[in-house]
């Protein structure tokens, strides 16, 4: 009987009736539940970008000590608003309709069909 290969990177084998513990996701870290895999992927992208934005704002506060208090306020508001939105469940923006797209492309002061 040949023994199965041993890998120290994966830890000990689990008994057949046990499953590995679920990994934390962006949705669970944000305090919300993802509605679908597309929504979960979107939330993960948003959280990653938000973390980058927060780090950038913290760096600005360090580079300009006079701006540190203002940056802290912006970061606090940013976290509250984004956390609230993510808790509601983020979904991709709807595709623009033909009417909406034509309104966007009109020069200011002109109405469609004029």
pLDDT, residue 58, reads 93
**Domain-wise residue ranges, the chain:** 47-89
Percent of the chain surpassing pLDDT 70: 46
24 vs 73, higher pLDDT:
73
pLDDT > 80? residue 97: no
pLDDT > 80? residue 77: yes
pLDDT, residue 52, reads 94
Mean pLDDT of the chain: 73
Percent of the chain surpassing pLDDT 90: 29
| Structure confidence by residue, pLDDT tens digits, 11-50 | 666 666 666 556 666 656 665 554 445 778 888 888 999 9
pLDDT, residue 34, reads 43
Angle between helices 68-88 and 37-63 (to 10 degrees): 170
In sequence order, which residues have a C-beta less than 8 Å from that of residue 53 and are 6 or more positions away? 78
pLDDT, residue 80, reads 92
Length of the chain, please?
A: 114
- What are the φ/ψ torsions at residue 108 (nearest 5 degrees)? -55, 140
pLDDT > 60? residue 56: yes
């Amino acid at each position: 009987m040949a023994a199965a290969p041993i890998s120290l990177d994966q830890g000990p084998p689990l008994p057949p009736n046990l499953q590995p513990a679920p990994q934390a996701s962006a949705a669970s870290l944000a305090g919300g539940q993802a509605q679908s895999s597309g929504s979960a992927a979107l939330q993960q992208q948003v959280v990653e970008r938000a973390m980058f934005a927060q780090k950038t704002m913290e760096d600005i506060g360090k580079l300009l000590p006079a701006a540190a208090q203002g940056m802290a306020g912006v970061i606090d508001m940013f976290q509250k608003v984004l956390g609230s939105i993510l808790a509601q469940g983020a979904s991709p923006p709807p595709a623009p309709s033909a009417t909406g797209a034509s309104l966007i492309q009109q020069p200011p002061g002109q109405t469609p069909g004029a």
